[in-house]
Structure 1
Amino acid sequence: MAENIGWELYRTFLAVLQEGSLSGAARSLGITQPTAGRHIEALEHALSVSLFTRSQLGLQATDVALALRAHAEAMQSTAAALERAASGHAKGAGVKGVVRVSASEVVGVEVLPPIIAALREAHPQLVVELALSNRVQDLLLREADIAVRMMRPTQAQLVARRVGRIEVGLHARRDYLDKHGTPRNAKALWEHAVIGYDKPSPFLRGASKTLPGFTREAFALRADSDLAQLALIRAGAGIGFCQVALGRRDALMRVLPKTFAFQLETWVTMHEDLRASPRCRATFDALAEGLERYARL
């Protein structure tokens, strides 16, 4: 097996996996399609394996390629982390460079923007990348520099600050309740259009253990996106879960607050190696302070 295989070959390999074709990979990387093809051929030759098969549907990843994907993604995360770290050590002092922040959809869209706007006002040379996903990104693999998590981190290598508990409850628009009535107990809730998840999630599994009837089949409106669920509530489509502070801000009505109340313990975390980084320290402190204010609403 060849030694010192260039990162650009793995980068092209990962792009082909993600895009599904040489042409798509070439566009995403800013290279030509023949160059992308040569990269794949060179990597296959260096590794002595077949990574893709050609078919009428395009390139199909082999089992070997699928097994290598996680390693290529880890390399990509490390390369991106290296670039972010280097960006913070350019000439001159002060908070500057790129910091990547991971957060859930709702927190990233509904809560963080004013916090980040104030942070950028204070540090205009700071570049913030928001990675919004309900998947918990791995800080140890440097998929992100800082993460907002709705659970206590367990890894010893992480610096963590608890910012409080964010309460989640059932909400609906006032005109929906005026038209359909307000449920007075859990049983009456299922006579309404309840908004929930399409696929099982940790939140849904936890709720189903304590709340009878809280199953996927009981939901009249289903979406795995928290933002889509929130949009349905705001549109008056039914009753669904949202953060209490957001419901209060949008003048939504709380439904069955004593029966349906969930506390999300919220933390801001980063890798301990970034503690001395000015760009990460400033971002970490700004997020923690802003989220602490939000949690008290």
Structure 2
Amino acid sequence: MPKVSHMDWDKLRIFHAVADVGSLTHAGDQLHLSQSAVSRQIRALEEALDSTLFHRHARGLILTEQGELLFEATKDMMKRLDTATARIHDSEEEIFGEIRVTTTNAFGTLWLAPRLPQLYEKYPDLKIDLMLEERVLDLPMREADVAIRMKEPSQADLIRKRLMDVHMRLYASREYLEQHGTPQDFKDLKSHRLICQSPNAHQISAGARLIRDLMTHNVQVGLTVNNYYGVLQAVRHGLGVGVLPDYLMQDYPEVVRILPDVQSSDVPVYLAYPEELRHSKRIEAFNDFVKDEIIAHRKRERAQAAE
């Protein structure tokens, strides 16, 4: 296959826009070019590569196999350009641009997202792309910029900071306890419905061990959910006693801890980012925000414990 010369950057940029939106017209609008100009550049690129990059359909354009290969390459190029542009601006002491943050569904939904207004208030030009999934994204390969995980990252070339420890504990709503009584020991717990993560769901291993321990005392599981948000919602609405991470509870005063001697082992929470982003001002701003929120979280925790 003939190589595309270094003079064809514009054609690649136009190809990327068309592949991204699947339409010559929409790509032209984005690039401030006419549809015919975009079409000419795509045809010229196809001729240079001696390959068809798009199937033309009435509903729009669909990438061919060769087009998919080229699109993967241009996506990587655009990602690197975005990173370079952001780092150039970082070096000018400006804090703006995108930060791709990955964390678990529970921590991202229930702890991080509710606190983001404080970050945006301070840095309104930042854009956070929050990627919530249990899969550990590859930071050195730039699948994300920053990760917050419930386990120390094992990937090389990462800067990692231990933020705090969390524990899995037992919780119920005040209303539920008023109606059904507060369990004082494992024996009492047998008459309550236990709500927890599904055994086959990706979850904190310390939480899974705690659930196994409870089941050795013949505690009956009445509902399993594949994420903590579902467990929390069931607990808040009075379905039973839930196994939940302790970082949730400051934000839900209607839910209280029961059996204070029962909890999982320590679960460390780590923040990590690639070595190459060490001097990034926007990454530094995000890290400082998380650190400040953790400090405030701990202060409230101590104040609640003292009451």
Residue in structure 1 matched with residue 305 of structure 2 by the alignment: none
Q: Does 1:192 align with 2:193?
A: yes
Once the two structures are overlaid, the 10-residue window that deviates more, 112-121 or 134-143, is 112-121
The letter of the residue matching 1:229 is V
Once the two structures are overlaid, the 10-residue window that deviates more, 132-141 or 44-53, is 44-53
Q: Is the contact made by 1:85 and 1:98 (CA closer than 8 Å) also made in structure 2?
A: no
Note the residue ranges of structure 1 that are not aligned, 5 or more in a row.
Answer: 17-21
Q: Distance in 1 between matches of 2:172 and 2:144?
A: 35
Q: CA offsets, 1:68-126, max 9 Å, x none?
A: 99877655644543443344356xxx3422241423333334433575444444x5464
Q: Distance in 2 between matches of 1:255 and 1:41?
A: 68
1:269 aligned to 272, 276, 280, which one? 272
Once the two structures are overlaid, the 10-residue window that deviates more, 265-274 or 191-200, is 191-200
1:151, CA displacement in angstroms?
Answer: 1.3
Residue in structure 1 matched with residue 212 of structure 2 by the alignment: 211
Q: Does 1:84 align with 2:83?
A: no
Q: Is the contact made by 1:182 and 1:255 (CA closer than 8 Å) also made in structure 2?
A: yes
The letter of the residue matching 1:140 is P
1:266, CA displacement in angstroms?
Answer: 1.0
Q: Is the contact made by 2:137 and 2:144 (CA closer than 8 Å) also made in structure 1?
A: yes
Q: Secondary structure at the match of 1:233?
A: helix
Residue in structure 2 matched with residue 131 of structure 1 by the alignment: 130
Residue in structure 2 matched with residue 19 of structure 1 by the alignment: none
Larger radius of gyration: 2
Q: Distance in 2 between matches of 1:147 and 1:245?
A: 18
Name the CA shift for 1:293/1:209 in 2 (closer, same or farther; >3 Å): closer
Name the CA shift for 1:171/1:120 in 2 (closer, same or farther; >3 Å): same
1:287, CA displacement in angstroms?
Answer: 1.7
RMSD: 4.7
Residue in structure 2 matched with residue 174 of structure 1 by the alignment: 174
Q: Is the contact made by 1:186 and 1:259 (CA closer than 8 Å) also made in structure 2?
A: no
Q: Distance in 1 between matches of 2:200 and 2:49?
A: 38
Q: CA offsets, 1:144-191, max 9 Å, x none?
A: 322222211223311111122022222121222333444532894585
Q: Does 1:235 align with 2:237?
A: yes
Q: Secondary structure at the match of 1:96?
A: coil
Q: Distance in 2 between matches of 1:209 and 1:120?
A: 37
Q: Secondary structure at the match of 1:136?
A: coil
* Aligned residues between the structures: 282
Residue in structure 1 matched with residue 153 of structure 2 by the alignment: 153
1:11, CA displacement in angstroms?
Answer: 6.2
Identity %: 24
Q: Distance in 2 between matches of 1:187 and 1:59?
A: 64
Q: Is the contact made by 1:167 and 1:263 (CA closer than 8 Å) also made in structure 2?
A: yes
Q: Distance in 2 between matches of 1:248 and 1:68?
A: 49
Q: Secondary structure at the match of 1:211?
A: helix
2:284 aligned to 241, 264, 281, which one? 281
- Calculate the TM-score normalised by the size of structure 2: 0.66
The letter of the residue matching 1:275 is R
Q: Is the contact made by 1:53 and 1:60 (CA closer than 8 Å) also made in structure 2?
A: yes
Q: Distance in 1 between matches of 2:74 and 2:169?
A: 40
Residue in structure 1 matched with residue 304 of structure 2 by the alignment: none
Q: Is the contact made by 1:101 and 1:129 (CA closer than 8 Å) also made in structure 2?
A: yes
Q: Distance in 1 between matches of 2:146 and 2:279?
A: 13
Q: Is the contact made by 1:140 and 1:271 (CA closer than 8 Å) also made in structure 2?
A: yes
1:8, CA displacement in angstroms?
Answer: 5.1
